[in-house]
Amino acid sequence: MTRHRIAVASADHVRRGLKGGFMQVCHGKIAPLNRIEAGDHVAYYSPTEILGSKDGLQSFTAIGTVKTGDPYNFDMGNGFVPSRRDVDWDEAHTASIRPLLDKLEFTAGRPNWGAQLRFGLLQISAGDFALIEAAVKNKTAP
């Protein structure tokens, strides 16, 4: 059964994954990646453009489908060896979450909607994913 997820990372980190065809979550931890299966859909939410900044980007920055294969480690140097999953990324553009806040099930009516995203990976409904996909692909929402 296909599941739909939001992963969280700064936009500059998401761009690295887009270039390399992979995703990382939770500062490279493997456990969250083990919950994802091939065929699952993932959208990246980027609270900021650059990790640690306060620029308030608050946008969806990538969308794709997880490829077959297990999570794997990748040596980025200086002792940092994060876990990754390969993803087939779709063509998409940055789309602010703001116009969707009242429409998405996981945010509607929640003043502190961002709190649930701080864990780095969130399962969402197919309906919410369709709204996000429409936003990042400039389509009419379902």
**pLDDT tens track of the chain, all 142 residues?**
899 999 999 999 999 999 999 999 988 899 999 999 999 999 999 999 998 788 889 999 999 999 999 999 988 888 888 899 999 999 999 999 999 999 999 999 999 999 999 989 999 999 999 999 999 998 765 5
CATH number at residue 45: 3.10.590.10
Decide if 102 is inside a domain: yes
Q: Contact at 8 Å (CB) between 8 and 47?
A: yes
Decide if 128 is inside a domain: yes
The SS3 call for residue 66 is strand
Decide if 107 is inside a domain: yes
Decide if 62 is inside a domain: yes
Can you read off the two tokens belonging to residue 67? 């490829």
| Rounded distance between C-alpha atoms, residue 89 and residue 19, angstroms | 9
Decide if 53 is inside a domain: yes
Decide if 142 is inside a domain: no
Decide if 60 is inside a domain: yes
The residue range of the domain holding 114 is 4-136
| Rounded distance between C-alpha atoms, residue 141 and residue 45, angstroms | 18
**Total count of domains within the chain:** 1
CA dihedral 69, 75, 81, 85 (to 10 degrees): -20
